[in-house]
Amino acid sequence: MNAVQQGEGEGGAIELGFGPGKRTKCESEITICGDTHGQYYDLLNIFELNGLPSITNPYLFNGDFVDRGSFSVEVILTLFGFKLLYPEHFHLLRGNHETDNMNQMYGFEGEVKAKYTAQMFQLFSEVFQWLPLTQCINNKVLVMHGGLFSEDGVTLDDIRKIDRNRQPPDSGPMCDLLWSDPQPQDGRSISKRGVSCQFGPDVTERFLEQNKLQYIVRSHEVKAEGYEVTHSGKCITVFSAPNYCDQMGNKGAYIHLRGSDLKPEFHQFTAVPHPDVKPMAYANSLMQMGMM
Ligand SMILES: [Mn+2]
């Protein structure tokens, strides 16, 4: 029946609901989108191209809804609205930008204060802390914003046990899920971001094997084509903010996971016009002057 069904089903098709390691059963299809970063008009274009969210058209948005783009309030209220309408068929995962530090520097806090109040920002901050960190689809595909871990051996159970209702720590599994990036060479190296790590194909392979998963889907990095398949198809990046910050010239993409084998199908799109408010219009003024 429905594309995504959740409940206390047999055979591991269960929605845990409370832990950060939520599980979703995908009966026929789900759409996964990556970073949207306050690009509201591009978000509307996704719904134009792929249909509005509904019980038969489920979505998962993989974090970084706010900051940089100057329509972050419009993006997050739209996404929260669909979450309220279709709680079982519309999924939101936390990104590294659903955090106070990032929101203070990259515009969301300033935007909320300009459009609403400081108290309204506190409310968003509180809700962001409850967003799940990962979602597991049909016990086969694990979705998270950043990527895998600084150490081997992390299990889905470990992920479920993370106490996520807080600002993320500077290291450890919660930090890694929000911040890490894949790298082409085996092993791990220091991240160019100065937080978490970069993980190689061997790390991905071991994690998938230990947890009996097929592949991971993550976001967090702008890609020229809107998506990238790496680690022999086992690590997929999807990014849904085309012409990121009005300057990168990249395509956006979303992924359909279809059928019982959850084969990924990529759809690309380009940026649409938006009202004349520049990205970072509400950001910390030191950031705007390029001093940070
Ligand atoms: Mn990110």
Let me know if residue 8 belongs to a domain. Answer: no
Q: Which helix (H) or strand (E) holds 258?
A: strand 252-258
Distance, CA 270 to ligand 1 centroid (Å)? 20
**Active-site residue (options: 89, 91, 97, 145):** 97
pTM: 0.90
Distance, CA 170 to ligand 1 centroid (Å)? 15
Let me know if residue 3 belongs to a domain. Answer: no
Instruction: Count the domains in the chain.
Output: 1
Q: What percent of the chain lies above the pLDDT cut of 90? A: 86
Q: Taking 70 as the threshold, does the pLDDT of residue 234 lie above it? A: yes
- Strands of the sheet containing 197-199, edge to edge, are 181-182, 197-199, 188-190
Any idea what the CATH number is for the domain that residue 50 is in?
A: 3.60.21.10
- Among 8, 107, 35, residue whose Cα is nearest residue 252: 35
CA triplet 141, 184, 131: central angle to 5 degrees?
Answer: 40
Distance, CA 222 to ligand 1 centroid (Å)? 9
Q: Which residue has the tokens 């419009």?
A: 74
Distance, CA 221 to ligand 1 centroid (Å)? 7
Distance, CA 155 to ligand 1 centroid (Å)? 23
Distance, CA 67 to ligand 1 centroid (Å)? 10
Q: Taking 90 as the threshold, does the pLDDT of residue 289 lie above it? A: no
Q: Which helix (H) or strand (E) holds 229?
A: strand 227-230
CA-to-CA dists, residue 21 to 39, 49, 160, angstroms: 28, 30, 5
Q: Taking 80 as the threshold, does the pLDDT of residue 265 lie above it? A: yes
- pLDDT (tens digit per residue) in 31-50: 999 999 999 999 999 999 99
- pLDDT (tens digit per residue) in 266-288: 999 999 999 999 999 999 776 66
- Region 150-164: mean pLDDT is 97
- Can you tell me whether residue 73 is helix, strand or coil? helix
Asked whether the beta carbons of 57 and 286 are under 8 A apart, the reply is: no
Strand partners, 35: 239
Distance, CA 102 to ligand 1 centroid (Å)? 10
**Cα separation, 119 vs 37, whole angstroms:** 22
Domain span including residue 32: 18-288
Q: What percent of the chain lies above the pLDDT cut of 70? A: 88
pLDDT for position 259: 82
β-pair type (263-269, 29-33) = unpaired
Angle between helix 72-85 and 40-50 (nearest 10): 40
97 catalytically annotated: yes
Write down the mean pLDDT value for the chain. 91
DSSP 84-136: HH-TTTEEE---TTSSHHHHHHHSHHHHHHHHS-HHHHHHHHHHHHHS-SEEE
Let me know if residue 171 belongs to a domain. Answer: yes
Name the most confidently modeled range: 156-160, 260-264, 284-288.
156-160
Distance, CA 62 to ligand 1 centroid (Å)? 9
Let me know if residue 249 belongs to a domain. Answer: yes
Let me know if residue 155 belongs to a domain. Answer: yes
**Cα separation, 28 vs 204, whole angstroms:** 26
Let me know if residue 13 belongs to a domain. Answer: no
- pLDDT (tens digit per residue) in 195-233: 999 999 999 999 999 999 999 999 999 999 999 999 999
Distance, CA 34 to ligand 1 centroid (Å)? 9
pLDDT for position 8: 30
- pLDDT (tens digit per residue) in 49-104: 999 999 999 999 999 999 999 999 999 999 999 999 999 999 999 999 999 999 99
β-pair type (188-190, 197-199) = antiparallel
Confidence grade of residue 14 (pLDDT, cut at 50, 70, 90): very low
Let me know if residue 2 belongs to a domain. Answer: no
pLDDT for position 287: 67
pLDDT for position 9: 31
Let me know if residue 6 belongs to a domain. Answer: no
